[in-house]
Amino acid sequence: MSAPSYIYLLISLLLVIFTIWQRRTIKYPARRSLVVRLIWLTLALVMAAVVLLNGRNSDTIVGGIFITVFLLTLFLWYPGLGEWGVLTSLRQIQSYQAFTKYELKELSPGLTEVQLFRGDVLITALKIKGKVEIVARFLSRKIKPTAER
């Protein structure tokens, strides 16, 4: 195996650890598009099949494992409200201190839209699985109004 293969294996291991950690720390998960999630899963399964059928040497297999793990990470990723911050995407994880206010709207029983602001600018909006009262109680402990800071 070449040096990049070891790096790919290390990154794959870190992605697995990060995904497990992320799934356990989300207190209120947000809804995600089923279509997008199925696309990531389909791509991961296709990549795994390609590796199984065409993997001739260890470098090819390790590269395929890396791509499959990355696609599965995208499939398993859940945005939402964690105990320590807000996860909106793989590239956007923010502390509650970054927000100055929030607004909640009940979309349906058990589904709440959370809009998070910095000043008057809307930073992100998530559709959270949870009742408005419970999510409001949780966010009131995490985000203090600007006047109290």
pLDDT at 148 > cutoff 50 = no
What's the pLDDT at 11? 92
Percentage of the chain modeled with pLDDT above 90:
30
Which residue has 């909640």 as its token pair?
Answer: 104
Cβ–Cβ < 8 Å for 58, 6: no
The answer to whether residues 115 and 102 touch, using CB atoms and an 8 Å cutoff, is: yes
**pLDDT tens digits, one per residue of 38-78:** 999 999 999 999 998 887 888 888 989 999 999 999 898 88
Give the span between the Cα atoms of 147 and 144, in whole angstroms: 8
The pTM of the full predicted model, rounded to 2 decimals, is: 0.76
